[in-house]
Chains A and B, each alone.
Chain A
Amino acid sequence: MSFQHGFPLSRRGFLAGACCAAGASILTPVSFAAMPGDNRFVTIILRGAMDGLDFVQPYGDPAYAALRPKLGLRPDTGLIDLDGFFGLNPAASALMPLWQAGELSFVHAVSTPYRDQRSHFDGQDMLETGGNGKGERTGWLNRTLAVIPRSNARKAIDINTSMELILSGPNEADSWSSQSNFALAEDEIAFLDRLYAGDPAFAKAMEEAKKTDISADSLYADGKRGAGIADMARLAGGMLREDYRIASFSINGWDTHVGQQGQFRKAVGDLSTAILTLKAALGEDAWKKTAVLAMTEFGRTARENGTNGTDHGTGGLAVLAGGAIPGGKVLGKWPGLSEDKLLDRRDLMPTGDVREVAAAMLYRQFGIEPDTLTAKVFPGLSFDTSSAYLRG
C-alpha cells in the first residue's frame, strides 16, 4: 500500500505563508532525558469521515468559496480566523482558548494510504491497523505497546464496550465504557431514516420514536445528547491521571451526506467537549504531558453536494491537542483547491500521511525509535527524525 501521485511522505514541508509566519518550532525536539516516562497519548477516532474543510476552512484559498457556496464561511460571516488563511468553524469556538495557549494544532490534507475504493469500513480498518492491508487484525496502538521503551508506561485503555481495532492485538490493554448504551449520532439517525423509507410502518414508528420522550431516551440515551462523550473523556482522563499512559475512544456522527451544517455543529461540539473534558479530568500537571490526536478515516469531497452535505473524499484533517504539543499552528502542505490540484478533480489532495503524524507523536511522547516505528508500528511508512511533524 503506497501513496500515489508522487508526494513523498516524509520530510514534508508545511504550509508556507501566514500560518507559519511566527516561525516557531512546530513540535519541540524530544528531550529523552527530561522524559519522565509519564507522558500521555490519547487517540480519538472521528468515525464517519470528518470534513476537514468545514472544520478548518481555507477561506484564503481562491477556489474555496465556489466549491462551498453554502458551507463555506469567511471571517465576516462567522468564521474564526486562525492565521489569515485558515479559519475555525464557529462550532469549535470553545477550543479557541487552547489555540491561543498553544495547545491546539491542525494538520491539513492528511490521510491514510487508503484510496479510491470509498468503502467506509476498509477505510476505518486502515486507520486503525496502521495501513497494513485488509488482512491485518491488530491495531497500531496495540503494537505500540510492545515497543514503548519503558515497561511501566504501557498501560492502555480503550473507552468502549469492547476493544476497538486500534487497540486490539497481542498486547494487553483494557477496555471500559462509561455507559453501556451511547446515543445515536445524527448521521446514524439519518441512516435509519433511509433504512425505513421503503417500509411505511417502520418509517412511521421511527418518526414517532424520535418525537416521544420515552423512545428518545433509548435512541439518544438518557435524553442528554453528548453526555456519553463527556463521560468517555472524563473516564479516559481519570485513567490517564492514574497509571494509564494511552487511551483511545471514538466519536461518531461525521458522515455528513445531507444537511451537514446542523449535524457537523453537533459533532464538532462533541469533539470540543471531549478535548475540554479530558483537559479538566487530567488536571494541569498531566495535561502538560499529554498529546491528543483526533483523526478520521478519510476526508470528504471538496465540493458540497446537492443535499447541503458532502460525500466521501480523500484528504482530511487531523487535530492535535494537549499541553505537550507546541500548538497554535495549521500544519501540513496545502495542495490548493483549484480543479487541477484536486485528487480526481474531486477530493482534497492528500499531501501527508496521517500515520506520520501519529508516528511523530509516539516518538515525541514515548521516545520510540523511528526505525522501530516504521518496522513494527507502521510498516511501510517513511518516517525519520527529519519529519516535518518533528522539525523545530
Chain B
Amino acid sequence: MALPTPTLAAIRYGYGLRPGEEPPRDVEALLGQIEEGASGKPRFPREGIAGRLDTATRVVSLLAAEAKARRAGNPNEDVRKATQSEARRIYRQDAMARLAQAIHSPLGFYERLASFWVDHFSTSVMKSLPMRMIVPLYEAQAIRPNLGGSFTKLLSTAILHPAMLIYLDQDQSVGPDSVAARKNGRGLNENLGRELLELHTLGAGSGYTQEDVRASALILTGLSVDNRAMQVVYQPRFAEAGPVNLLGRIYRDDEGDGQDHVLMLEDLAANPKTAQHICGKLVRHFIADDAPEEMVAAMVAAWTKSRGDLTEVYRAMLAHPRAWSDPGRKIKQPFEFVVSGFRALDLPERNFGNLLRDMDDGDEDESPVQKAMDLTGMAAREDTKKKAGRANALTLGALQRMGQPIWQPPSPAGFADETSVWLTPSQLSERISWSRMVARIFGQKMEPSVFLQAALADAAHPETSRIIAQAPNKVHGITMVLASPEFNRR
C-alpha cells in the first residue's frame, strides 16, 4: 500500500500526525526543517546552555566539597541528599522537556534526526550524578546544532564534549608513557577509542584491529574534563608521547599543541567505511531492518560527493523511491510511540506543565478523599501519591517500562533499532496499557473515529476503521487506535 507523501512523511520521517499541523508536503519541506531546527533553541536544558553550565559546575563543586568533608571525617548527609535530589529533579524536568519538545515541535524530521544522532553518539545520565545535568546539555550543545552540517563537525563536537569523555571514561585515561603515568601509575583506558571506531565511525567488522583500538585510545590521551568549568581540556601531562600508527597513518607526538586527535577524527570521518556504516544505519532506522542496498549506495555516493554533508545524505535518502514505498516495515520505538500518541491527542501545552507539577508535588497529602480512603481501609499513603504516580506513568515511567527511558541507553551502542525487539508480547501489553491509560485520562470525550482520522489519516486500514467504529466504548476505541498495528508501525 502506498501512502500519499504527506501522511507517510509525517509518520515515517516525523513523530506522526498532529491535528492542525500541516504534514510535510514533499522532500524539500522535510529538508527545510533541518536548518530551522538546528538554529532553534531546544526546551532543555531548562536554564539554557550557559545557565546549565553554571548549575552543573555548582553541583559538582558541592559534591566535591562534601566528598572532601566526608574524607576528613565530617560528612554532611543533608548536603549530599539535597544535591542528589536537585540533580534528579533537574533531570526529570529536562526529560519532560525533551518529551514536550518532540511532541510540540512542528519540525518532526529534525526531531527524529536529533533522536537518531543522540542515540548514535550515546551517553547516559546513569553514569554519574552530574551526568543527569550534562547529558541534556550535550544534546543541546553538541548534537542538535550540527546534525545537518558536515559529519566531521558533528563527530568532533560529539566526541569532544564533557558528556562523551565522562561517559566513556576518557577523563580517566592516561598515556602509559606520559608524565602523569610516570608520576601516579594511572594507565590507558581504551573505552572511547574502541567505541569511536566500532560505533561512531567505521563500524564493527569493518576490518580494524585491536592494535587500531589501542592506537586510537593513545591518540585520545590528553583529553580530559575540567569538572569545575565543565569543559574539555587538553592535559599534555596525560598525553602519550611518541608517534602512533592508526590505520596506516602516523599521528605524531604532539605534547605541545594536542592536535593529533583532531586529525584522527577528521580522518575517521572521511573514511569510506564510516559513510557506509552510517548510511546503512540511517536506512535501517528509517526504512527497514534489511536496508535496501541500492538506497545505501545512493546515500554513500552523496556522502562522497559532498564530503560528508549530512543534509545531502538525507536528501539522497529521501529522493530514493524506496523512501516512499512499502510502509510499516519498522515498529516505532517506545519514545516515538509515546510522542506520536500525545501528538495525535493534541493536548494543550499546559497539560505537560501540569503533569510535571504533579510529579513534583508527589509528596503532598491534600487528597479530598483521604478520610473515605482511610475509612474503607485503602492504602492511604499509596493513594496520596496517585497523581504523581499517574503523571509519571504516562510519561517517563511509561518509557522506562517500555525499555526506552530518556537519555538512559543500555550501552554505548544505544537503543536497539530492530523491529523484533519492539514487537514482543510484553512490549505490546505495555503499549496497550499505556494506550488505555491515556485514553481514560484524555480521551473520554473523543469520538474514536475522529481520533483515528487525526492519528492516522489515510494510513488506517478500512478494517481497522470498522473495528474502531464498533468499539464497545469510547475509551476502548481510543485505546485501539493507539494500540493498532498501523499506529505502531511506520
Contacts and interface: CB of A to CB of B under 8 A. Distances in A.
Contacts of A234: 376-378
Contacts of B390: 161, 180
Contacts of B375: 238, 241-242
Contact of A188 (B369, B445, B472, B474): B472
Interface string A156-174: 0100111111001000001
Interface in A250-276: 252-255
Interface in B439-484: 440-442, 444-445, 447-448, 461, 463-464, 467, 469-474, 476-477, 479-480, 483-484
Given A157-B369, A198-B485, A255 B389 contact: no
B444 A235 contact: no
A176 interface: yes
Contact of B426 (A47, A214, A253): A214
Interface stretch (A10-18, A35-43, A201-209): A201-209
Interface string B228-244: 00000000000000000
Contact of B429 (A187, A188, A219): A219
A177 B461 CA distance: 34
A47 B473 contact: yes
A218 B423 contact: no
A212 B376 CA distance: 33
Contacts of A340: none
B440 A160 contact: yes
Is chain B's interface secondary structure helix, strand, loop, or mixed overall?
helix
A111 to B, nearest CB: 17
Contacts of B447: 121
B436 A120 contact: no
B423 A235 contact: no
Contacts of A184: 432, 436
A116 interface: no
Q: How large is the interface on A (under 10, 10 to 19, 20 to 34, 35 or more residues)?
A: 35 or more
Contact of B470 (A120, A176, A231, A253): A120
Interface string B65-99: 00000000000000000000000000000000000
Interface residues of B, number: 50
B2 interface: no
A242 B426 contact: no
A258 to B, nearest CB: 12
Contacts of A202: 423, 428, 485, 488
A7 interface: no
Contacts of B389: 180
Contacts of B433: 181, 218-219
Contacts of B461: 198
B437 interface: yes
- Leading 4 A-B pairs by shortest Cβ distance: A255-B472, A238-B376, A238-B372, A209-B425
Interface of A: 47-49, 119-121, 124, 137, 157, 160-165, 168, 174, 176-178, 180-182, 184-185, 187-188, 191-192, 194-196, 198-199, 201-202, 205-206, 208-209, 211-212, 214-219, 231, 234-235, 237-239, 241-242, 244, 252-255, 281
